[in-house]
């Protein structure tokens, strides 16, 4: 989601929808949400939602810009896409359209080296097991 401003209300709404979609309430091992030290993720309403969901917040160390390697990698991937606008977006709708297309590509098409060259969607759906087994079988033949 892309909004004109970063605020706790948007974060709470996103957390709630994501938790429902992913079935976090039924998980025995709750996920950890890692973020920066910004005011949004430390807002009372966001912390209350995380507590209600059973999700533990985790924060980057102060003044350590590369403390969340996953997000830094995501940003680099986005910035190196050929269609990334070098001079920014003209308006919010343009930013939203680009963001939507990027997220779709990143999750459904981009094969990630750190998850053995499957897509995040394949990994999330546990389809990677069959894909990797088939690859292994190909190497054996």
Q: Is the dihedral of CA 131, 136, 137, 138 positive or negative?
A: positive
At 42-58, the pLDDT tens digits run 999 999 999 999 999 99
Calculate what percentage of the chain has a pLDDT beyond 90: 85
Choose between 135 and 70: higher pLDDT: 135
Could you give the domains of the chain?
Answer: 1-65 (3.30.420.10)
Residue 79 confidence (pLDDT): 95
Question: Confidence class of residue 4 from pLDDT cuts 50, 70 and 90?
Answer: very high
CA torsion angle 40 32 120 132 (round to 10): 170
- The per-residue DSSP string of 23-70 comes to TGGG-SS--EEEE-S-TTTTSHHHHHHHHHHTPEEEEPPTT-TTS-HH
* Chain mean pLDDT for the chain: 94
Which residue's structure tokens are 């709404």?
A: 13
The structure's pTM equals: 0.83
pLDDT band at 131 (very low <50, low <70, confident <90, very high): very high
pLDDT at 117 (0 to 100) = 97
The alpha carbon of 11 is separated from its chain's Cα centroid by a whole number of angstroms, namely 13
Predicted local distance difference test score (pLDDT) of residue 71: 85
Beta carbons within 8 Å of 68's beta carbon, 6+ residues apart: 34, 35, 36, 60
């Amino acid at each position: 989601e892309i909004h004109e401003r970063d605020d706790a209300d948007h974060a709470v709404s996103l957390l709630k929808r994501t938790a429902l979609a992913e079935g976090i309430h039924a998980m025995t091992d709750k996920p950890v949400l890692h973020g920066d030290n910004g005011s949004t993720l430390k807002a009372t309403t966001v912390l209350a939602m995380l507590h209600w969901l059973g999700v533990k917040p985790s924060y980057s160390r102060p003044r350590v810009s590369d403390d969340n390697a996953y997000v830094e990698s995501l940003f680099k991937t986005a910035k190196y896409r050929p269609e990334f606008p070098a001079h920014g977006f003209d308006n919010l709708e343009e930013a939203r359209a680009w963001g939507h297309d990027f997220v779709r590509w990143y999750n459904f098409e981009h094969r990630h080296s750190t998850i053995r060259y499957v897509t995040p969607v394949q990994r999330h759906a546990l389809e990677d097991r069959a894909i990797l087994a088939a690859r292994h079988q190909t190497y054996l033949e």
